[in-house]
Structure formats: structure tokens, C-alpha cells
Amino acid sequence: MSLAVVRSRAPAAGRAPEVTVEVHLANGLPSFSIVGLPDLEVRESRERVRAALQNCGFDFPVRRITVNLAPADLPKESGRFDLPIALGILAASGQIPAESLLHREFAGELSLTGALRPMRGAFAMACGTARGAVASAGAADTGASSETRSALPALFDRPAGQPFHTPQLYLPAASAAEAALVPGVDVFGAADLPSLCAHLAGSLDARLSPVTAPAPGEHAAATVPDMADVIGQRAARRALEVAAAGGHHALLIGPPGAGKSMLAARLPGLLPPMTDDEALASAALQSASRIGFRPSQWRQRPFRAPHHSSSAAALVGGRNPPQPGEITLAHLGVLFLDELPEFDRVVLETLREPLEAGRITISRAAWQADFPAACQLIAAMNPCPCGWRGDPGGRCRCTPEVAARYLRKLSGPLLDRIDIQLEIPALTAAELAARAATAGEASAAIAQRVSAARERQLARQGKTNRELDGREVDDVCRPDASGEALLREAGERFGWSARAYYRVLKVTRTVADLAGAAMPSAAQVAEAIQYRRAFGSL
């Protein structure tokens, strides 16, 4: 036959929509054309595919070759279409059975020798393959395993329909391991084009077997630093415990060497383990991005720490078509912004909406992409440019005007969205000398309390305290009479906005959850107020 159809997927806006690769061989002057909005990488596949087929001993048709990548309005990028284009040419020219390509998806970049190179986005592609199979099969998946039924519903929409048939995905061998982590997909890894073609032709000697997913916990190495390494800073450790329990954003203010970055790096170790759906969603975002996803990152909450020279596009997303930014790559994890005032003010202002909504929408002339951004912001800063404002030794060299100008780099609306704002003092020589006596509690013990508090929140309202809206805050977070009076007095004294007032209420509810209290008391309100006073003392 002179026409072959191969299914693949394209990386687009953090997802992997299906792409149909149609290859047609016609009479006429020899040519090789690729249509369907390909970028330069895809257009260059003509030379890679030609050389790979010839070097592997296949016949390259001396005919008019037209490759159509459908849908035509979806931009196509990366070298992942090398393999489906090569297979389409071989099927259209009768060198492999065309029926062997049915109900299968392929992706991979070819070297000139025919070897399959590792590719970015294998996990996201497997998620797209599973989503497409489930959507076409429906919810009555009598053939699906219990693991698939339990892991996919929250991530993939599944209307009622026919029985479920496990889809097959063929990838380079070096990229198959991460894709195998997605349940409900049979992933095959091939080292080169000849071995894959022999498998498709039915050769028993070259038959490929599905890649086995790593055992649970095999890649979940404990690489997160332990809170026990922190010397002193009892108030800061407690504040991070509260932040982890309620998912609150936090700002740590202190002189150089106080331990701000050290504390922030230990926050992921306090957060509850990721659920199946959270692990799938986070890994799919990492895989579809430029940084890629490694199996060793499976079930590990992301920790992103961009440099303060980052642009707005790098922080919240950009390019055309839109790509996710750091706030999306930190989804379900931690976004750490060190030296916060050193970021461009315009860049920081772009964080206001996603911090509130947990999502970010990037619009371009022909594209609009909606990315999740439910991360936890932890920021750190010095109290002044030299870092020593308020030091009892008088080391600060900044005038009041210089210090005030430094603090004005952070707008009031942005600070309003940060629940916990804590001033961290410098460590004394005595605390450093008595390291064993002032060492912090281990992360494992704190994480147990955090998990218990999270379970109370999920049982009560189905979400973290940070995600509560106005009406829910009134129903859930109101303290007793003495606590209400104390909160009202603090709000009037410090001039809180309505947003700041409600965020203090959310922190109060989290402190009560850590204590196992049904209703917040005045003592828990007082603790929450202390987490909102840092800027008043600067």
C-alpha cells in the first residue's frame, strides 16, 4: 500500500495530545515533504530518517513522500516524530506489515545509525496514552486492573463506554522506565529501529516484552535534608511545621547565616507523602517540561529554587506555544525564592494571582494554556541591603532611607498573600558551640504531626486550610470568644487588610489542628498573630 498511518503524541502545554502521522508515497519527482505545522527540529527529521533507513539496510523509496502530522493546527516540536515517520515509510512501502501499527503509539528520536536516542516527555506521553485509551473505552473497563481503576479516575475523565483494552506504547529503551510508572499502559522499549521492526514483523527471536515498572519505594530515596541539622531557631522550626501542616506560604526574614535557606530546604521532608494522583500529576508536568522527569524523582515533592535573575516567563511560564514556569514545576511541592527583594518587582507581581488561585493562565495570540500552580511558596530575605539591620553589635551600614527603599521592593498585595512572615535572629556563638544541645527535632517526628493535622483538615473540609475561601473560613476557623476579641484587637492595631485578617484565621485553624483542638483558643490566635508581625518590627 502507498499510505500508512502511525499514532504518536506531541508535547503541548504540559499535556500530550494525540498526533496522527500519515505517510503517503506517490509517483512523480522524488521529494520528501513534512506538513502539519512542524518546527525546525521536525523538518530536520527528513535527513535523520533517510540516513537511518539506509544505514539499517532498509530501502528508502525513491518516490514523492508526503508526511502529514495531524491535527494541522497543533505545533509539532522535538525529534520524537523520527520513529513514527520512519515506520510510516516502511509500512507504506511494504517493508513491514501495516496492520502491526494499529492500536499502538510510537515516539523516539533516531540517530543516523538507526539507534533510538532518549527522549524528553516519555512520562507525559504515557499519561496521554492512558487518558486517550480510557476516554475511548469508557468507565466499564472490565479488563482494567484494580491498580488502573484506583490510580486513573482523578487524573483522567472516564465516561461510560466499552470494555477497556490496555494500550501499547513504544519508546526508546532509555526512556521506557519512566513511562512504565504510569498504570494502564504496556510500555515497550526498543534499542534501535531494526529490532523494533523485527518485533512488529512477528519475529519470535526479536520479540519485545513490556517494561516492568519499578517496585514501590525503589526510587524513593530519602534525599531531603533533615530538620535535625538545624541549630537553634526553635521559633522558625515551629513556623515551618505550621506552614507544612496547613500548606501556608511563608517568608523568612533574617541576617546572613541565620539559616533561612537551610530551613527552607528541609520543608519538603515535613510534607505528607504524595498520593497516587498527586505523583502522576507532578511527574507528568516535570516530564512535559524542558527539565524532564527521572524515575528517581517518583513520589518526591518538587523543590524549585530559581535564581533571583529569573524573568517573569521563567517564573510563571511563557514562550509560544506556552511552556510551564517554575511555579508550575513546583506544583504540589515547594517554590523557594531566596533573596526575595533582589527579584525584579514586575516578576514578583506576576505571582500574586497564581498564589491565590493555584493556577496560572498563559495567553498568546493563537494559544492559551492553563497550568496548575498549587505550590507552597517559601521566601527568604535580609532585613536590609547589608543584612544586619537591628543587629545589637551595630554592624548595619544602611541608612533608614536605603533600608526603606529595599523593603518597598515588596508590594503590600504580595505580602498580603504570604500567611507566615517571621523574623529569624542570628545565631549566637554560645548556640553554635552547644550544637548537640540546640540541634532541632528530626524531620520524621515533625512529619508525623503534620500528617495528622492534614488528615484532620481533609476529613473536615476536603482541602488544606490555605485553600479555604471566605465562607468556609467563617464556618471552620472562627476561634472562641476570647480568641475572637484578641484577633479583632490585633487587626485594628496592625491595620490588617481583609485578606490578611482571613489568612491569620487560617493559620490559627492550622495551629489548632496541630494541637487537635476542635475550636481555636486565644493562645492559638496569639501564636498566629506572632507569625504576622515581622514587617511591623522592621
Q: What is the CATH number of the domain that holds 316?
A: 3.40.50.300
The reply to whether 207 falls in a domain is: no
Asked whether 308 and 374 are in contact (CB, 8 A), the reply is no
Query: By C-alpha distance, which of 66, 54, 87, 71 is closest to 20?
Result: 71
Burial grade of 303 (CB within 10 A; 0-12, 13-18, 19 or more):
buried
Residues 421, 314, single domain; the answer is yes
Q: What is the mean pLDDT of residues 195-204?
A: 89
Domain presence at residue 210:
no
Q: What is the DSSP letter of 156?
A: S
Same domain flag for 142 and 257: no
**Percentage of the residues of the chain whose pLDDT score is greater than 90:** 55
Taking 50 as the threshold, does the pLDDT of residue 10 lie above it?
A: yes
pLDDT value at residue 82: 96
Residues 42 and 87 in one domain: yes
**Claim to verify: residue 296 and residue 175 sit in the same structural domain:** no
Could you tell me if residue 153 is inside a domain? yes
Task: Name which residue leads in pLDDT, 64 or 212.
Answer: 64
**Predicted local confidence at residue 233, as pLDDT:** 87
Positive or negative CA dihedral for 467, 472, 474, 479?
negative
Provide the domain limits for residue 118.
Answer: 3-200
- pLDDT at 221 > cutoff 60: no
Q: Looking at the domain assignment, is residue 16 inside a domain?
A: yes
Backbone CA torsion sign across 410, 416, 417, 420:
positive
The CA distance from 89 to 72, in Å, is: 20
Assess whether pLDDT exceeds 70 at residue 14.
Answer: no
Is 216's pLDDT higher than 70?
no
Question: In 10 A of CB 10, how many CB atoms?
Answer: 26
- Reading the block at residue 183, the C-alpha cell is 498504570
Q: What would the pLDDT profile of 268-325 be if each residue is shown by its tens digit?
A: 999 999 988 888 888 888 887 777 888 878 888 999 999 999 999 899 988 777 788 9
Claim to verify: residue 14 and residue 152 sit in the same structural domain: yes
Q: Does 245 lie in the same domain as 144?
A: no
Average pLDDT over residues 362-383: 87
Region of 466 (left: φ > 0; alpha: ψ -120 to 50; beta: rest) is alpha
| Pair (21, 130) in one structural domain | yes
Alpha carbon separation from 458 to 53, 105, 167, 395, 466 (Å, rounded): 56, 39, 34, 47, 12
Count how many domains the chain has: 2
424 SS3 class: coil
The verdict on residue 214 lying in a domain is: no
Measured between alpha carbons, how far is 308 from 330 in angstroms, rounded to an integer? Answer: 16
What does residue 517 show for φ and ψ, rounded to 5 degrees?
A: -90, 140
Indicate whether 365 pLDDT > 90: no
Q: Is residue 30 part of a domain?
A: yes
Residue in the block written with cell 516492568? 212
Q: Cite the DSSP H helix spans in 398-536.
A: 400-407, 412-416, 429-433, 435-438, 443-461, 470-476, 481-494, 498-515, 522-530
